[in-house]
Amino acid sequence: MLDLTYEAPTPKVIAGATSDWELVIGLEVHAQVATKAKLFSGASTQFGAEPNSNVAFVDAGMPGMLPVINEGCVAQAVKTGLGLNAQINLVSAFDRKNYFYPDLPQGYQISQLYHPIVGEGEVLVEMGNGQARKVRIERIHLEQDAGKSIHDMDPHMSFVDLNRTGVALMEIVSRPDIRGPEEAAAYVLKLRQILRYLGTCDGNMQNGNLRADVNVSVCRPGDYEKYQATQDFSHLGTRCEIKNMNSMRFIQMAIDYEARRQIALIEDGKEVVQETRLYDPDKNETRSMRSKEEAHDYRYFPDPDLLPLEIEQAWVDDIKAALPELPDQKKARFIKDFGLSDYDASVLTAEVVNAEYFEKVAEGRDGKLAANWVINELFGRLKKEDHSIEDSPVSAAQLGELIGLIKAGDISGKIAKDVFEICYTTGRNPAEIVETEGMKQVTDTGAIEAAVDEIIAANPAQVEKAQANPKLVGWFVGQVMKATGGKANPAAVNQIVSAKLGI
Ligand code: ADP
Ligand code: MG
């Protein structure tokens, strides 16, 4: 079983001039809901479409248009909540967050400030060293995405693309339970993995379908424990929020930079100002976007066009009953049922398609051997050509067949690699390849004995040496393997050689 301690791993500590400093991080992750249509319109959410081709009148803020909630988006948010062990709120409500921007034609974003659809939950983040931390989820709310402004420099022109306007987002807000850059990345990765297992967000960070606002503060050793004991934020330092991060690497670099900037300020006798900052990867620094004083007054109020959202417990129960097996459960099952190491189980369950492929290969066979072949041979080979498992030329059934041949002693592991390569490039089945190409391992002792006799007779000097130094038996085994084109069963060869040499 997984040996997970819920003890907090040591937080990242940065030594300052006057004190050690610890990092405190809370993330607001915006995950685009995987659905065909937008949150309040029937327009398509397809990525990369012709600009302004996926826009309904309501998305364009046309007067007199009314939003109509997309039940599919609500179901996805509920599913996500259940996957994060969270409380599902049977009554939630939509609010308007008012601001002006060219890519927001309504003049407001519909969000859920006061009554989110999902309440408290948790994500278990493993740090790859047997340690894990439970990161608490504060809430998940549904909201609309904004459009995209595109600025051209030559000539100076700005464009607005409303395809994204009104697409459903889930904002997943964590408590400030994350204690370092690596942990922040591990948290986003785990969240992404769970969402992908659930099928509620495709997790494509490059396309901006998963992005994070990263809140960072620093405190002196001991202060975080005081916060945890009381949940009183005054024990923590002032935070800055780094907006819109969509790369794991940049998230880590931005946190590190930001923490050091704050420490330098405090140690210089200055104060950290609560503000929104942007990370510039070219310069590896964060820069102020707007301070708290300049913060927008969004004039939140309940959206009068939308009734409170009421869902039924029975509907939630149905969604719960249909939840897929999630990464932690699958990993634990792989370790238990197939005898895999923690590491192999993690690799194989990182993506659900990989896990499903592996399971087909391993079913009823040697699980460890199957894991080795999938991870080392197949993944290695696929990576070479930038293939993914979905377009693997070797099917799970074929790889399973190959492993069956190894296990039955029909081929050695070495020959199996050749069979694999033929199967990969031609699509032929392993058993047929072995048969047709005469690659079957020779276990017939008569044939092996004949080969051994020949080599012994031809190399009297080596025989003498080997009899004085039994380690040299390996040389004879190598010669026999060569003579049989690698097809002799190495264990049998070893035994026969030793016997014939009288060792
Ligand atoms: P706001 O309403 O201004 O967005 P929230 O209280 O909702 O503020 O917090 C937003 C995010 O900031 C949450 O993820 C929370 O965990 C995180 N956060 C709050 N205080 C701190 C802090 N002192 N240091 C780091 N992160 C924090
Ligand atoms: Mg916020």
In tens digits, what is the pLDDT along the chain, a chain of 503 residues?
333 444 455 788 999 988 999 999 999 999 999 999 999 999 999 988 999 999 999 999 999 999 999 999 999 999 999 999 999 999 999 999 999 999 999 999 999 999 999 999 999 998 877 778 899 999 999 999 999 999 988 889 999 999 999 999 999 999 999 999 999 999 999 999 999 999 999 999 999 999 999 999 999 999 999 999 999 999 999 999 999 999 999 999 999 999 999 999 999 999 999 999 999 999 999 999 877 666 778 999 999 999 999 999 999 999 999 999 999 999 999 999 999 999 999 999 999 999 999 999 999 999 999 999 999 999 999 999 899 999 999 999 999 999 999 999 899 888 999 999 999 999 999 999 999 988 887 777 788 888 889 999 999 998 988 888 888 888 998 998 888 888 888 888 888 888 888 87
CA of 215 to the centre of ligand 1 (A): 6
Cα-based angle 178, 335, 174 (whole degrees, multiple of 5):
15
Q: Going by DSSP bridges, is the β-strand pair 157-161/168-174 parallel, antiparallel, or unpaired?
A: unpaired
Radius of gyration (C-alpha) of the chain in whole angstroms: 30
CA of 300 to the centre of ligand 2 (A): 14
Which ligand is closest to the CA of 227, given by its number?
Answer: 1
> Which residue reads 């046309």 in tokens?
62
* Contacts with 10 (C-beta within 8 Å, 6 or more apart), sequence order: none
CA of 274 to the centre of ligand 2 (A): 12
Phi, psi of 263 (to 5 degrees): -60, -45
Quick check: CB of 28 below 6 Å from ligand 1? yes
Q: Locate the ligand 1 atom nearest the alpha carbon of residue 236 and give its number.
A: 23
DSSP alpha helices (H): ranges in 322-412? 327-338, 342-349, 352-362, 367-372, 379-384, 396-407
Quick check: CB of 239 below 6 Å from ligand 1? yes
Structural domains present in the chain: 17-294 (no CATH), 325-436 (no CATH), 445-501 (1.10.10)
pTM over 0.85: yes
Terminal C-alpha separation, the chain = 45
Quick check: CB of 24 below 6 Å from ligand 1? yes
Q: Locate the ligand 1 atom nearest the alpha carbon of residue 28 and give its number.
A: 14
